[in-house]
Structure 1
Amino acid sequence: MELHAGTFNPEDFAWKGLTLTATAAKHIRELSIKQGVLGLRLGVKQTGCAGFGYVLNTVSEPTAGDLIYERDGAKLYVSPEAMPFIDGTQVDYVRDGLNQVFKFHNPKAQNQCGCGESFGIQAE
C-alpha cells in the first residue's frame, strides 16, 4: 500500500458508523414521507470559524458508494468522503422551546464555535 501525505482513501478504514436516536429517526421518516424522498444525506462542508459545518439534504436518488444508516424505516445517507469527519456521530432531533433542530454528538469534534454552527477536528 502506497501512502501519500495529505491523501485519504476511504477503503482503508473500517467505520464505526452513525446512529440515529428514536426522535431523529421519527423526524427523518416524517420528512421523507412529506417530501416524497428516500431519506436525508448528512455531509460536511468547510465553513464557520471552527472549520466544518454539517449539511443535511434530501435524497431522491442514492449515489453510488453511499453508506446508508437506517433506524425504524428512516434512512440517513453518507458519502465515504464525509466519514473521517463524522464517524461515530449520534444524530438526534431535539425541541427547545419553539426551536426544533438536529443535534450532532460527534466524538471527532475537538472544538466548536461559539454559536455552535461549526466544529473542528484534530488530525490523527
Structure 2
Amino acid sequence: MDVHSGTFDPNEVSWQGLTLTPTAAAHIRELVSKQPDMQGLRLGVKQTGCAGFGYVLDTVTQPETEDLQFETDGAKLYVSRKAMPFIDGTVVDYVRDGLNQIFKFHNPKAQHECGCGESFGVQAE
C-alpha cells in the first residue's frame, strides 16, 4: 500500500486545464468589450452551500501572479492555482435557462451537487 505524506503544492502539478465553450467565450468577449479596463473573468471556488463549495466569477482588470490563464478565441479565463484541485477539467458554458442566461460549469471533479445546483462537493483523492 502506497501512503503519501507531506503537503500538497498546487504549483508542482500538471493541470488538465479548463475549457470555454464558444458561447461562453463569446459572452466573455462581449463583457470585455463593454468594460475597457477588463481583461477577462476569474473563476474560483468558496466554501458555501449545502454541498460544500460554490463557484465564484469575478471580473479581472489585472491578473494575479498565481493565476493560470485559459484562453479560447480571445476570451480569457483566469483561475487561481489554489482553486485548480477543485475545478481542473471543468468546461465552462453559457446557456439560456428559462428566462435567464447563466454560466454553467461541467466539473468532472464534482462528486455531488445540492438540489438547487448552487454548490458542489468533491471527494478527496
Same fold (TM > 0.5): yes
TM range (shorter): over 0.9
Take 1:97 and 1:117, find their aligned partners in 2: how far apart are those partners?
Answer: 16
TM-score by length of 1: 0.93
TM-score by length of 2: 0.93
Q: CA deviation at 1:32?
A: 1.2
Q: CA deviation at 1:85?
A: 0.1
Take 2:98 and 2:114, find their aligned partners in 1: how far apart are those partners?
Answer: 22
What does 1:35-74 align with in structure 2 at a 5 Å threshold? Answer: 35-36=35-36, 37-74=38-75
Name the SS of the counterpart of 1:8 in structure 2: coil
Report the RMSD for the aligned CA atoms in angstroms.
Answer: 1.2
What does 1:76-115 align with in structure 2 at a 5 Å threshold? Answer: 76-115=77-116
Name the SS of the counterpart of 1:77 in structure 2: strand
Q: Which residue of 2 aligns with 1:34?
A: 34
Name the SS of the counterpart of 2:76 in structure 1: strand
Take 2:44 and 2:117, find their aligned partners in 1: how far apart are those partners?
Answer: 16
Take 2:60 and 2:43, find their aligned partners in 1: how far apart are those partners?
Answer: 10
1:12 aligns with 2:15: no
Runs of 4+ in 1 over 4 A off after TM superposition: none
Percent identical across equivalent pairs?
74
Residue ranges of structure 1 left out of the alignment (5+ in a row): none
Name the SS of the counterpart of 1:40 in structure 2: strand
